[in-house]
Structure 1
């Protein structure tokens, strides 16, 4: 399987469009309507506060201290990739986003989800909370963003629908590289994400590369997930609707062998590739899952594991994957719930025996 490498096209196209408008070197007072430029030493938050729905905020290369809170619809924030860096400001300073320990927040409400925000081509680094934190959004796009060395999630999205998380780099974050959930801190049934997509991301050195917690109706494809404690986790429980009804396809999940100690809800994690726990009707197809090694109950290539509250995996399909060099098993059904199907997978060792193609 050939892994698509993250392209720079979305951000580059927007930069070109902004350049055509002649906005690259002039502040708002001198620029065409609908554009703002932020230079080193200026405040990204001040530009967001001045912006109107539909505006483009171009952030020039530089380091910008302090968290950024976006609460207006249809804003586009675009930086210059690794050269535009948002870092923590002085302790206690800034808006609610910064005070919560996050880097860049995109926040709507249950009654009025925030629509059409784009965060493109910038770096968010060193925050004690999430690098990017989004909640109650619709059609959020996060693309070509680097989230590194943040204390919790690299990119965390909850209560949100139709999100597009593409071509990002999340590395060395304390929890997940990408965390997509109904909610991070409450019980409840799975959220219908209305075809959210997590695609083409590079996830390295986190606790878990991608966590899908109590969500449904989305695709996770063509991501490169390596050197985390765990690769891709689909997490559900007894809540209704059940987590699942989603597709994990065409990902490269390799050597996620970092050790992470146990948490309040999970045993220690090491050597776990793709794990389904408490999920239903999830399709795991055409992934390459290789070289995982560990002794955790979740260790192995593709693993079905009973949830911490005893909810079984049901009706899942694991088909057409290449799972090699994993131990203790390439494929493992340690839950043995009902209706789970393993078919046409390339592997050598399975639990129980007989799941691999002969």
Structure 2
């Protein structure tokens, strides 16, 4: 290499470094600190896109509504606790009025993008710990959602959400809930690759519920002591629910009893349930000791939906499915094209799938 070439490379390096410094997106970001006795909501209201709100250890009796893009809310793990506001203060915002802990709320024409919620605890809310609607690239990491009335961590009408390393415990319905919409019927939403990864769900009604959604990954999660582990819910609407991957999860002893309702029978001892799903891959999961006597009981169960929609073209392969009752593998519907390949199990309905 000539001296001239070396000199030119050095010039390029200087220009690149200078350019990176000038274009750094965080250059104008502000860090807002919130201490016990102060308002998280006031910090959110004062923040601009790109800012972060650092919530110091303590108990905060409030709900927080987020309606602007690119904010980070970060606590100090289980030492940063959000609980419901006193009754007299619950009209402070729509999130509190609805009974939720943190709400990220967009619209069909203006989604709320790139919100990050990290390292805090949401507990005791009448409805949901976290409720997100019309969001894109929501990131929820190391959040504990405990003893909330309906869902621990939930989103609808949203795309590319990532739920990672969270704990959802003793919530009234699902620990983590992802849906197309909760206020009307309709076809499955393409989540554009949402992820539910490395979370821990216990003592909920369901660990993870995926209701009328498509194109997402559920991987590496641990689910125990729920009524059911993973529930994929579809119906006759088009596009159908499915086109997702459920892989490498540990789903064991989900033997809590949950009574039936107008839509579903009793749930107990259910590992992974597919109802009205198409083209879903259930692969490499360890599904053990889920025991019950419901029509939904068993290790991995295919069952028609409450409106009679069937499962089609799903692939159940290479799972370790043992010690479950009433069966390790069960295909209890009339769908077609479903495949059971290479699973380790001892009992199946119909016989011969092990």
TM-score, normalised to structure 2, is 0.91
* Matched residue SS, 1:47: helix
Q: Look up the match of 1:299.
A: 297
The answer to whether the 8 Å contact 2:65/2:94 transfers is yes
1:195 to 2:193 alignment: yes
2:131 to 133, 158, 167: 133
Alignment correspondent of 1:288: 286
Structure 1 unpaired stretches of 5+: 1-31
Q: TM-score, normalised by structure 1?
A: 0.90
- SS at 1:72's partner residue? coil
For 1:319 and 1:333, the matched residues in 2 are separated by 14
Aligned residues: 325
The whole-number CA distance in structure 2 between the counterparts of 1:341 and 1:94 is 52
Structure 1 residue 264: deviation in Å?
Answer: 2.1
Q: Is the 8 A contact 2:131 2:155 kept in 1?
A: yes
Q: How far does residue 184 in structure 1 lie from its aligned partner after superposition?
A: 1.7
Partner of 2:182: 184
- 1:192-226 CA distance string (max 9 Å, x none): 00001000000000000000000001100000011
Q: Aligned in 2, Cα 1:300/1:54: closer, same or farther, shift over 3 Å?
A: same
Q: Secondary structure at the match of 1:184?
A: coil
Q: In structure 1, what is the equivalent of residue 220 of structure 2?
A: 222
1:332 is aligned to 2:330? yes
User: What do the CA deviations read for 1:119-143 (whole angstroms, capped 9, x no partner)?
Assistant: 0000000000000000100010000
CA distance in 1, matches of 2:51, 2:94: 22
Give 1:93 deviation, angstroms.
Answer: 3.4
Task: Tell me what 2:318 maps to.
Answer: 320
2:37 equivalent in structure 1: 41
Question: Equivalents in 1 of 2:321, 2:100: separation in Å?
Answer: 37
- Matched residue, 2:153: 155
Q: Which residue matches 2:11?
A: none
Question: Deviation above 6 Å: which 4+ runs of structure 1?
Answer: none
For 2:334 and 2:199, locate their aligned partners in 1 and report how far apart those are by CA, in whole Å. 31
Query: Over aligned residues, Cα RMSD in angstroms?
Result: 0.8
Paired with 1:106 and 1:33, the residues of 2 have a C-alpha distance of 20
Cα distance in 2, alignment partners of residues 150 and 222 from structure 1: 24
Asked if the contact 2:157–2:181 (Cα under 8 Å) also holds between the matched residues in 1, the reply is yes
Q: Deviations over 1:236-285 (max 9, x none)?
A: 00000000000000000000000011122101100000000000000000
